A = this chain, B = another copy of it.
Amino acid sequence: MTLSIDKKPKIALQPIHQCVPVTFHYDVHFTQGLFKTNNPLLAEIMAADGKPGIKRAIAVIDSGVLRHHPHLLKQLQGYTERYQDFFTLADHPMIVVGGEEAKNTPILIDAIHTLINEVGLCRHSYILAIGGGAVLDMVGYAAATAHRGIRLIRIPTTVLAQNDSAIGVKNGVNAFGKKNFLGTFAPPYAVLNDFDFLSTLDARDWRSGVAEAIKVALIKDADFFEFISSYAQAIAARNLEIMKQVIYRCAQLHLQHIANSGDPFEKGSSRPLDFGHWAAHRLEHLTDYRLRHGEAVAIGIALDCTYSYLAGLLSQPDWQDILRTLSAIGFTLYVPELNLTGYKSGLFQGLSEFQEHLGGDLTITLLQGIGKARDVHQVDITLYQQAVNLLENWQQTINNH
The answer to whether A245 has its CB under 8 Å from any CB of chain B is yes
Nearest chain-B residue to A195 (Cβ)? Answer: B13
The answer to whether A107 has its CB under 8 Å from any CB of chain B is no
The answer to whether A156 has its CB under 8 Å from any CB of chain B is no
The answer to whether A18 has its CB under 8 Å from any CB of chain B is yes
Whether B18 pairs with A258 at a CB distance below 8 angstroms is: yes
Whether B245 pairs with A123 at a CB distance below 8 angstroms is: no
The answer to whether A82 has its CB under 8 Å from any CB of chain B is no
Whether B123 pairs with A266 at a CB distance below 8 angstroms is: yes
Q: Bound state CA distance, A185 and B269, in angstroms?
A: 22
Whether B230 pairs with A16 at a CB distance below 8 angstroms is: no
Partner of A230, one of B1, B18, B19, B125: B1
CB of A176 to closest CB in B, whole Å: 4
Whether B231 pairs with A3 at a CB distance below 8 angstroms is: yes
CB of A313 to closest CB in B, whole Å: 24
Q: Bound state CA distance, A26 and B117, in angstroms?
A: 33
Whether A18 pairs with B23 at a CB distance below 8 angstroms is: no
Q: Bound state CA distance, A227 and B51, in angstroms?
A: 40
Whether B124 pairs with A359 at a CB distance below 8 angstroms is: yes
A176 CB contacts on chain B under 8 angstroms: 113-114, 117
Chain A 161-193 interface 0/1 with B at a Cβ cutoff of 8 Å (1 = within): 000000101101001101011111111000000
A269 CB contacts on chain B under 8 angstroms: 124
Q: Bound state CA distance, A146 and B172, in angstroms?
A: 10
A22 CB contacts on chain B under 8 angstroms: 21-24, 264-265
CB of A130 to closest CB in B, whole Å: 19
Chain A 317-332 interface 0/1 with B at a Cβ cutoff of 8 Å (1 = within): 0000000000000000
Q: Bound state CA distance, A120 and B145, in angstroms?
A: 24
Whether B357 pairs with A123 at a CB distance below 8 angstroms is: yes
Task: Give the contacts of A24-66 with B (CB-CB under 8 A).
Answer: 24-30, 51
Contact flag A20-B187 (CB < 8 Å), given A2-B230, A356-B120: yes
CB of A21 to closest CB in B, whole Å: 5
The answer to whether A249 has its CB under 8 Å from any CB of chain B is yes
From A4-12, A294-302, A389-397, give the one contacting chain B.
Answer: A4-12
Chain A 218-239 interface 0/1 with B at a Cβ cutoff of 8 Å (1 = within): 0000000011001100100000
A75 CB contacts on chain B under 8 angstroms: none
Nearest chain-B residue to A231 (Cβ)? Answer: B3
A10 CB contacts on chain B under 8 angstroms: 245
CB of A231 to closest CB in B, whole Å: 7
Whether B183 pairs with A145 at a CB distance below 8 angstroms is: yes
A24 CB contacts on chain B under 8 angstroms: 18-22
Q: Bound state CA distance, A120 and B149, in angstroms?
A: 28
A170 CB contacts on chain B under 8 angstroms: 148
A sample of 26 inter-chain contacts (CB < 8 A) reads A2-B230, A8-B227, A11-B248, A11-B249, A13-B248, A15-B29, A15-B30, A16-B27, A18-B24, A20-B25, A20-B169, A20-B258, A21-B22, A21-B264, A22-B265, A117-B176, A120-B356, A122-B356, A123-B360, A145-B182, A146-B181, A148-B265, A148-B266, A149-B184, A149-B265, A184-B184
Which 5 residue pairs spanning A and B have beta carbons closest together?
Answer: A123-B359, A124-B359, A122-B359, A13-B30, A117-B176
